[in-house]
Amino acid sequence: MINTTAINALLTAMADDALIQGHRNSEWTGLGPIMEEDIAFSSMAQDKIGHAWALYKIMQEELQGGDPDQFAFLRNEKDYKCCHFVEHPNGEYDFSLMRHFLFDHAEAIRYELLQQSSFQPLQPLAKKLKGEIKYHTLHANAWVSQLCRAGEESHARMQSALNTCFPLALGLFEPGGEAEEILIAEKVYPGEKAIKEIWLDKIYNILSVAGLNLPAEKDAEPVYGGRKGYHSIYLQPLLEEMGAVFRTDPAAIW
């Protein structure tokens, strides 16, 4: 019997990251620099929010969790476990694209590894989501390499976005303490550090081809706190907006 508290913590963090990143993606709807990018970010928003829902659904069905909609919209800020990286506003397109690139590669690796999870309900979902996220990384890779070849200003902005994003992105792998140790021992997943190592290799290769310098991990101060419920100043206003319609009548059937 796998430790329910530990697995809940992992699933909540993954789902909350997907939910908040999904909402940030949706903020590009109607504002993208070209229509195809409008469609791309809107589609990725739909995927991410769907992925969050599927994870909340597993928590409901397998771990005595609550209704996915209520769980997504009605918690207090401290009960969300997303990392600061996804909470930050979209900023300009360079930041959004770089976050999308770093975030989606991390998710792709996480789901790839979760296909072998000892927590059986995760296996088919991980397989499915991994296949879908491949389209997100395909999109991110194409834009990162294209913008890095698009002249001096474009390259400089991508490098600067990478420098800004990197310490935040390390927050995706915030150590989970004892709960994480249990999950590793139970073979639910190989742990944050293992995912991070594969991620660093993966992004290093793509960024090098694009001519960008990946900052050294030892010089970066990882932005942690989200997994423990300590959030950036950006989360609370986002939650208020995100749940505004839902809260007008939580029992409504749409």
Shortest distance in whole angstroms from residue 202 CB to other proteins: 13
Q: Based on CB atoms, which residue is closest to other proteins, 47 or 192? A: 47
In whole angstroms, what is the distance from residue 181 CA to residue 6 CA?
Answer: 9
> What's the token pair of residue 61?
């069905």
Q: Based on CB atoms, which residue is closest to other proteins, 131 or 250? A: 131
Shortest distance in whole angstroms from residue 244 CB to other proteins: 21
Q: Based on CB atoms, which residue is closest to other proteins, 47 or 180? A: 47
Determine how many CB atoms are found less than 10 A away from the CB of residue 62.
16
Shortest distance in whole angstroms from residue 171 CB to other proteins: 25
Region label for 177, one of left (φ > 0), alpha (ψ between -120 and 50) or beta (otherwise): left
**Contacting positions for other proteins (CB under 8 A):** 36-37, 39-40, 42-44, 46-51, 53-54, 121, 124-125, 127-132, 134-135, 138-139
In whole angstroms, what is the distance from residue 179 CA to residue 3 CA?
Answer: 8
Q: Based on CB atoms, which residue is closest to other proteins, 132 or 225? A: 132
Sequence-distant (≥ 6) Cβ neighbours of residue 166 within 8 angstroms: 102, 214, 215, 220
User: CA separation (Å) from 99 to 106, 126, 140, 144, 248?
Assistant: 11, 22, 9, 11, 32
Shortest distance in whole angstroms from residue 251 CB to other proteins: 18
